[in-house]
Amino acid sequence: MPVMPGARSAFGIGRETTAGTQVAARFFPPFSKFDPTDKPDFLVDDGYRGSMASEFGGVMGPESCDIDFSGPGFMDALGSLLHNILGDYAVGAAVSGVYPHTFGLLNSGNGQPPTHTLIDSQQLTATVGARAYPGACLSELTLSGNTEGLFQIDGKATSYPSAAASAAMTNTPTSEQVIPAWRSTVSIAGSSAPNISEWSVTIARELAPMWTANGTQAPYVIGRGAIKVSGKLTFVAIDESPLTTGLLTNQQPALVITVNNGGSTGALRELALTMTKAAYTDAGQKRDTLLGWDVSFSAMANSTDAAASGGLSPIKAVLKNAVTDYSS
């Protein structure tokens, strides 16, 4: 029997005009994990029939799909993910061909970010060799760096039921390079923190798939609710400041995490995450070969991190790359 190796997989993402209506891929993130699970509710007939059994039939009920993905962080497709989970987006003038893209929490209108189609080109789907996951909405996006590894992304999304892609995906692998996490820099309360060995930031968003009596199994809408931003910093201990200054006095310092490729002018690729009120929630001491601290934090909403739509936001992200815009 024929089989298909996982190495033949390729993935795509495209911004939708109408939520739930699939579009072709614009970016091609090389995920190292992409695990989709279609989840129809199985509705069971458990009516008594005079027999010592409990289930007598079943039909398919409402359906959606859950997706887990992860891989190295590439600075082109990352903008689509940030736009999907945060919603507010603006692009500035290019400098030597590098565009600054600002993503923040959308606080105007209905507060709903755009949706995207995720495409899994696994060579299994008849005719087109790809399966599409339209209406995808991110419920979680984690950006992280362990200085012994790569800058990394991990995410979770919910989409409409999967379907065969409308056409075979034209795979155009990214020309961007992976970025080692040691190129990260961290600033706490306006001062450089060179003793951070690992960091992570998680943007989590409430999702509410809603089904209606409209004759279809797919959700009528996947509503986006409030977001929470949290993370973790691992310090090589040089003093007690993570405990005494950060945690016990509730300083809530400004935290800025930047990762870039070290390029200059037109070759620069960079992500800067700003959390102006990063409240430490615990500071556990580590006793390994060297003493250290594991600090967890929650980013509090504030006006400084708000984007063009105003209001309050716990985070602002500025992405610099050669992409002209993410609005289409």
Residue-wise pLDDT for 174-217, tens only, equals 999 999 999 999 999 999 999 999 999 999 999 999 999 999 99
Query: Once rounded to an integer, what is the mean pLDDT over residues 65-87?
Result: 98
CB 271 within 8 A of CB 321: no
Rounded (5°) CA angle 47-52-56: 40
Structure token pair of residue 244: 């005494």
Rounded-to-integer distance, Cα 159 and Cα 136, Å: 4
Q: What is the pLDDT of residue 4?
A: 86
How many domains in the chain?
A: 1
- Cα distances (angstroms) measured from residue 110 to each of 107, 296, 311: 8, 32, 13
Per the structure, the complete domain to which residue 289 belongs is given by 9-39+63-164+176-321
pTM higher than 0.85, yes or no?
yes
Rounded-to-integer distance, Cα 136 and Cα 76, Å: 18
E strands, the chain, in order: 10-15, 33-45, 57-72, 87-91, 99-105, 116-121, 131-146, 151-159, 163-164, 184-188, 191-192, 196-210, 221-236, 255-260, 270-275, 278-287, 291-299, 316-321
Look at residue 238 and tell me if it is in a domain: yes
What is the rounded (10 degree) CA torsion for 95, 101, 107, 111? 140
Query: Once rounded to an integer, what is the mean pLDDT over residues 51-56?
Result: 96
Q: What is the pLDDT of residue 155?
A: 98
Q: How many other CB atoms are there within 10 angstroms of residue 250's CB atom?
A: 8
Look at residue 171 and tell me if it is in a domain: no
Spatial neighbors of 240 by CB under 8 A, at least 6 apart, are none
151-167 pLDDT, tens digit each: 999 999 999 999 999 99
291-321 pLDDT, tens digit each: 999 999 999 999 999 999 999 999 999 999 9
Look at residue 48 and tell me if it is in a domain: no
User: Is residue 84 within a helix (H) or strand (E), and if so which, with residue range?
Assistant: helix 78-86
Q: How many other CB atoms are there within 10 angstroms of residue 195's CB atom?
A: 16
220-270 pLDDT, tens digit each: 999 999 999 999 999 999 999 999 989 999 999 999 999 999 999 899 999
CB 205 within 8 A of CB 48: no
pLDDT higher than threshold 80 for residue 2: no
Look at residue 99 and tell me if it is in a domain: yes
Query: Once rounded to an integer, what is the mean pLDDT over residues 284-291?
Result: 92
With cut-offs at 50, 70 and 90, classify the pLDDT of residue 288.
confident
pLDDT higher than threshold 60 for residue 1: no
Look at residue 184 and tell me if it is in a domain: yes
Cβ neighbourhood burial of 213 (10 Å; 0-12, 13-18, 19+): exposed
115-153 pLDDT, tens digit each: 999 999 999 999 999 999 999 999 999 999 999 999 999
Look at residue 95 and tell me if it is in a domain: yes
CB 148 within 8 A of CB 41: no
pLDDT higher than threshold 90 for residue 31: yes
The phi and psi torsions of 75 (rounded to 5 degrees) equal -80, -5
